[in-house]
Amino acid sequence: MPAWASRPTVPVSAPAAVPEQSRGEHTHSEPPAPGIVARGVVERTSVRGQVLDALRAALVSGDLAPGEVYSGPALGERFGVSATPVREAMQQLAREGAVEVVPNRGFRVTRRSDRELAELAEVRALVEVPVVTRLARTVAPARWAELRPLVRATTAAAVVGDRAGYAEADRVFHRALLAFAGNDQVVRVADDLHRQVGWSTSDLAVDAHQHVVLLDALVAQDCGAVGLLVREHIGG
């Protein structure tokens, strides 16, 4: 498996936030909790990356709730780091559409409507369905064995109900699948879309089983089935 396909370890399991009333909204402030602690000289980008992983996991699990506002200093205290890497990680999440900036307050977790999720799924299907269907015709069936460990990873996360782990394993699987096309821009665009809708899956077991069926259809080079399965899986 290529190095980029390994799921990064998320060192923080964020506790539920305790709201603090301010200007008619809840801005969350939490007590310190074990988590990301710099030991010696730690690269700033490494800390930011760990915080970003932890925030993404908290978004998937619901520990960071849609519609709520969270401040950089409060989240920094929760994770045992300064506010700077938290703000930098939150800015990345804002670019991905997961949160929005609230001036002088912090960041509000995006609350997506059913219509927005459906629109994102439609766009994602427009990108992935034709690409994967073409791959079913052009990639040697034996090559798909490379994705079996990634499919098993999604199944393992689904079995234990690890939503954060599942979201990351699912993202890695789709990145690896699309990478067969040899088009970095397709992978990047699809990955951005996946991050925006990846935590909306309601039934992990069903979603994971779709990976198994899709991979079997790719091995069989059943292009018609592949197209239908990708569309169903994405929900577009």
Q: What is the pLDDT of residues 68-111, one digit of tens each?
A: 999 999 999 988 899 999 999 999 999 888 899 999 899 999 88
Burial 37-76 (b: 16+ CB within 10 A, else e): eeeeeeeeeebbbbbbbbbbbbbbbebbbeebbbbbebbb
The token duo for 57 is: 């996991």
For residue 85, give the nearest of 72, 99, 95, 74 by alpha carbon: 72
Total-model pTM = 0.71
Name the residue ranges covered by the structural domains of the chain.
Answer: 3-109, 114-234
At the top level of CATH, the class of 114-234 is mainly alpha
Which range is least confidently modeled, 2-6, 41-45, 137-141, 180-184?
2-6
On whether the CB atoms of residues 190 and 178 are closer than 8 A, the answer is: yes
In this structure, what DSSP letter does residue 98 have? Answer: S
DSSP 35-53: -----SS--HHHHHHHHHH
pLDDT tens, 126-184? 999 999 999 999 999 999 999 999 999 999 999 998 888 898 899 999 999 999 999 99
CATH level 2 (architecture), domain 3-109: Orthogonal Bundle (1.10)
pLDDT tier for residue 232 given thresholds of 50, 70 and 90: very high
Write phi, then psi, for 177 (nearest 5 degrees).
-60, -50
pLDDT attached to residue 201: 58
pLDDT tier for residue 29 given thresholds of 50, 70 and 90: very low
State the residue for tokens 């890695």: 172
For residue 231, give the nearest of 122, 150, 152 by alpha carbon: 122
On whether the CB atoms of residues 113 and 210 are closer than 8 A, the answer is: no
Strand segments, DSSP code E, in the chain are 19-22, 25-28, 69-70, 99-102, 106-109
